Amino acid sequence: MAEKRVAVVGGGLAGLASVMKLTELGVKVDLFSLTPVKRSHSVCAQGGINSCNDQTRQLGDSEWKHFDDTVYGGDFLNHQPPVKEMAMWAPKVIDLMDRLGVPFNRTGEGFIDRRRFGGTLYKRTAFAGATTGQQLLYALDEQVRRQEAEGMVRKYEFWDFLRPILDEQGNCRGIVAQDMVSMEIRSFPADAAVMATGGCGLVYGRSTMSVFCNGSAASRCFQAGAKYANGEFIQVHPTAIPGADKLRLMSESARGEGGRVWVPRKAQDPRAPQEIPDSDRYYFLEERYPEYGNLVPRDIATREIFDICVNEGLSVEDDRMCVYLDLTHIPAAELDRKLGGILEIYEKFQGVDPRVEPMKIFPAVHYSMGGLWADYAKSSDGGLEPGAPENHMTNIPGLYAIGECDYHYHGGNRLGANSLLSCIFTGLFTGPSIVNYIDSQPHDAVSQELLDSARQAEIDRHQHLLTGNEGSEENPYLIHQELGDLMTRVATVVRKNDQLTEALVKVDELHKRAMKVNLSDTGGWTNQNVLFAKALQDMFPLAKCILKGALQRDECRGAHYKPEFQKPPLTAEDPAERRRQAEAWCDEFEANNERYLKSTIATWNADTMQPDLTYEDVDTSSIPPRPRLYGLVGADIIEEVWKERAKAKAEAGQYATT
């Protein structure tokens, strides 16, 4: 039988987990990465990785509750079979990473220590200090290096993915990639290709993502015919420190270990934070959300911080929006043991010791919940069918999407510490599916003509960028700055239809300008100018998906927030009137779900240079949608009304109440 070979693009947790599993199954892998794999963006993940565990089980936790918290936190936009399977696998993933040598923090008894993260009332999050992503990545890297030494892996670091190679039937038969040093462009035949390329933070100019997270790989697949789903759902992390080059994450683990968010009750109080007594401090998350406190889901914490600074004018500083994230009440030794990694980052870039002075933070673009559309096969128990070839396959046969660049797991809002889990889970789970897909296909060799044609198309694009726009004054870096500023202003925390409409027109103009950039460097060796220009051009299809998807979604769901369409709290004091308001609130909620509880599916129209949007129903067969009521005034009566309706529907056989 012909030798099986798979191209895996992306050297982060999802990519390395995929390589590890595929090689374990006897498949040879070509692994491509923009950077050395140990510097992939997964290395920046700080807080931890989620799973139900023996400690939380004693408090009533279960894999089902992890599943429920995930779809509730995601505002029920997550397809439930993949999420259920992930939650059921989670304890096994932690056990595997423990056995691979990840130095998880331990309790005094020697058990893996856990911390709480947002959107849950249980300590589900295993962690390795505040460098969990780095430790997980290094453990997987060791396994991939072992397979590389045995000849199962060919590693292509400093290579840029340019396009999938599609045959006449539309099947993926390999990829085209470019050496970022020599600038050589090559075609690589493969029986299947796996995209594990992360998010698209650079579309916003600055974000907490690494500066090479530009979304270009997903965009190139999108432009080749792959669908892109839920692009409008971009997570803004509530706590980051601004920087001239990027925004640096201050992990949710800081709040999980007891960090408190506050502002002085007096705007721009001139006193040092240590001198402000508790009575003059506004712990607004704790006051507004007493059950969850500082660990409300990220979308809610982000909006509250934004509201405090922008609408209430209580920013700590007059000329820069920020609030305090305070760890000073926690013993320094405890902080160093559990949060040393992020404390060092803050000290390095701010010149302040957060052990003795509260940090100043503000929300920043952090994660792409949307991504390449991918399929799945549902099992009889409501999870995924192991080994089914369609699991995580895009609409292009043979092209798979895993990790942050797919759209399955997080719905409208990602819960903290679920990202590392989803990346490792998808990499491991899809291995047998990919092998079964390969085995189902005819083993004919990829024609040299197909390989050469795809390669030549990219050579032509490369040469045109170097020499085709002589005389143009368009600068790719200035265009990118305009794009980032525009996207940050209109498509982050608060979204308004008039601004989104104007932004789409402006992005069209910028896109046309980007196609005419004139490069200052036309050299043939390690030309970063031309690589950036390609990435810039490929940011625009995703930017348009984000803006157009947001414009057409007239509701508030997870990270997508339009104040004009926010459901109001209950205002009546009279019990009967309050009940009537709750009934009306639930009527509106059901009507809104009927219209908007759907995945946005974009396909690229090369003629109009626009995404065409359609909508797909979300599988909510295991856990029926219910109102997301964190901190809402009147939540108790709304929940009561909703439970009565759910019970009546269950008795009528409309859905289960599990």
Catalytic residues: 298
Residue type, 617: D
> DSSP labels for 151-184?
TSEEEEETEEEEEEEE-TTS-EEEEEEEETTT--
Residue 169: CB atoms within 10 Å:
7
* 490 neighbors 500 (Cβ within 8 angstroms): yes
Q: Is 300 helix (H, G, I), strand (E, B) or coil?
A: helix
494 has which bridge partners? Answer: none
Tokens of 561: 């927030």
Cα–Cα dist 74/622, whole Å: 15
Count Cα atoms within 13 angstroms, Cβ side, for 453: 11
Residue type, 420: L
Cα–Cα dist 282/266, whole Å: 9
* 286 neighbors 278 (Cβ within 8 angstroms): no
Cα–Cα dist 588/582, whole Å: 10
Q: Fill in the DSSP letter of residue 495.
A: -
Residue 182 phi/psi, 5° resolution?
-80, -15
Q: Between vectors from CA 401 to CA 441 and to CA 189, what angle results, nearest 5°?
A: 45
Residue type, 178: Q
Cα–Cα dist 164/153, whole Å: 20
Parallel, antiparallel, or unpaired for β 153-157 and 28-33?
parallel
